[in-house]
Amino acid sequence: METLFTWLIVGGILGFFVVRYWRAHKHGEVKAREAAERGALFSDGPRAQHPKILRDYCIGCGACVAVCPEGDVLGLIDGKAAIINGHKCIGHGLCAEECPVGAIEMVMAKPSSGADLPVISEELETSVGNLFIVGELGGLALIKNAVNQGRDCIDVIAQRRGGQGVERDKPGVLDVVVVGAGPAGISASLRAAEHGLNAVTLERESVGGTVSKYPRQKLVMTSPVEFPLHGRFSKTALSKEDLLAFWEKIMQRTDLNIHLLEGVEAVRKDADGLFRVRTSLQEYVSRAVVLAMGRAGTPRKLGVKGEEMPHVLYRLIEADTYTGNNILIVGGGDSAVEAAMGLAHQPDNKVTLSYRKGEFSRLKDRNAKRIDEHMRSGKIEVLFNSMPVEFREGSVSIEVGGENREIPNDFVWIFAGGTPPSDFLKAAGIAFGVVNEEERSHSLVCV
């Protein structure tokens, strides 16, 4: 009898935990399904590199869900991992690394999802032979991916160059021109120096690319990467200033030829197979070109009256220089939310954020949690379903839910994205969307 009683107690304890686990599992699955339904409304899915779940191998352990730093990109549905918010994925690849049974592989989005992205081969080559695209411009925003791509495409160029022989040398002709000095461009420049290639890197602004435009002390999330000529860079969380200081140290190398404040205006491949790269200062002739530019391009305007006024800005560099102001932020993405939170922390600022939709839908998980805290604490007033009507000196007229409202204002920041350099790429002959192998073979001319 005592043995039976003991087994009943043990069974009861085990049953309690089993039921508790089952209820938590079902609750998590319900939330995942709801998130997947919302995600389908906001986006057609991933637009670049993302995980592909091999359901036959997935054991539903949830390791991939837990490791993703972007929040609810993945979830468990019917006991298997599934993509529920593909638009949040930026290609970390940590889920594939964490999966204990190899049920996840990293793939690129289907061609129909990348209709506005340039065609790029596995070697990072465009439809124009020896013209390469790396980093953000090709659809990958992650620093680790950009660094790896910059290195890999130079390896391809060096391999082709090595098979051509010194008799192909021509006076005044470079081996490669790298356009952009962000993570991908710097990596490519270092790799070119390591291979002994005759190269030049052209940057229209300052070193660092998109990172140099982040607000001060913004935390940059990355993964350990291997920089050519430097070694392993193992930090996984660092500030903008730390990363820029690292790149400035790299730029002091005498074997790098980096020209700042020299923007590229056009790239053309002539009949002789050589590229003419025209900048604001001169023209370069090269056998290969690596485009390591960002996708933001020219800031997108709203078409609102008064938008040309000097207090209407499109980029926030130093948040701590703005204090005691009435500030309006326009936009609902990560850049807008991060700028609003940065400015809200400065003394005596009153920050209002205007977003045309009824809720945030594309925020990184950490930003979604932080902006919610700022809203609840009153640090930031968020006006959903709103749109500025007119910017004036000292005030803004804004439509909120169909009604006009006048609010005091000293500065406005607009984060409506940018016009990507599509015209620049198309003028260079680069194809977008889908290209067949016959079309590609006609353009792959090695020089």
Q: Which among 103, 107, 88, 99 has a CA at the least distance from the CA of 49? A: 107
Give the per-residue pLDDT at 319. 79
Give the per-residue pLDDT at 171. 77
HEC string for 253-296? CCCCCEEECCCEEEEEECCCCCEEEEECCCEEEEEEEEECCCCC
199-203 vs 131-133, strand pairing mode: unpaired
Predicted TM-score (pTM) above 0.85: no
Give the per-residue pLDDT at 38. 56
> Alpha-carbon Rg of the chain, whole angstroms?
25
Tokens, residue 401: 């839910």
Give the per-residue pLDDT at 316. 81
Main-chain phi, psi angles of 359, to 5 degrees: -165, 160
Give tens-digit pLDDT for 115-145. 567 888 888 999 999 999 998 787 665 677 8
Residues of the chain with pLDDT under 50: 41, 111-114, 166-167, 435-447
Give the per-residue pLDDT at 441. 41
* DSSP symbols for 140-178: ---HHHHHHHHHHHHHHHHHHHHTT-GGG--TTEEEEEE
What span, in angstroms and rounded, lies between the C-alpha atoms of 371 and 174?
A: 49
> SS3 of 412, please?
strand
Residue 381: CB atoms within 10 Å: 16
Residue 438, C-beta contacts closer than 8 angstroms, at least 6 positions apart: none
What span, in angstroms and rounded, lies between the C-alpha atoms of 440 and 427?
A: 17
What span, in angstroms and rounded, lies between the C-alpha atoms of 340 and 350?
A: 10
Domains within the chain, CATH numbers bracketed: 24-113 (3.30.70.20), 115-297+420-443 (3.50.50.60), 299-419 (3.50.50.60)
DSSP state of 136: G
DSSP state of 217: T
Give the per-residue pLDDT at 278. 95
Q: Please, which contacts does 376-379 make with residues 24 or more away whose CB atoms are closer than 8 Å?
A: 379/341, 379/344, 379/345, 379/351
Establish how many alpha carbons lie within 13 A of residue 272's alpha carbon, considering only the half-sphere containing its beta carbon.
9
DSSP state of 419: E
* DSSP symbols for 381-405: EEESSEEEEEEETTEEEEEETTEEE
What span, in angstroms and rounded, lies between the C-alpha atoms of 196 and 176?
A: 11
Give the per-residue pLDDT at 168. 53
Q: Which residue has the tokens 């930026």?
A: 90
Give the per-residue pLDDT at 75. 86
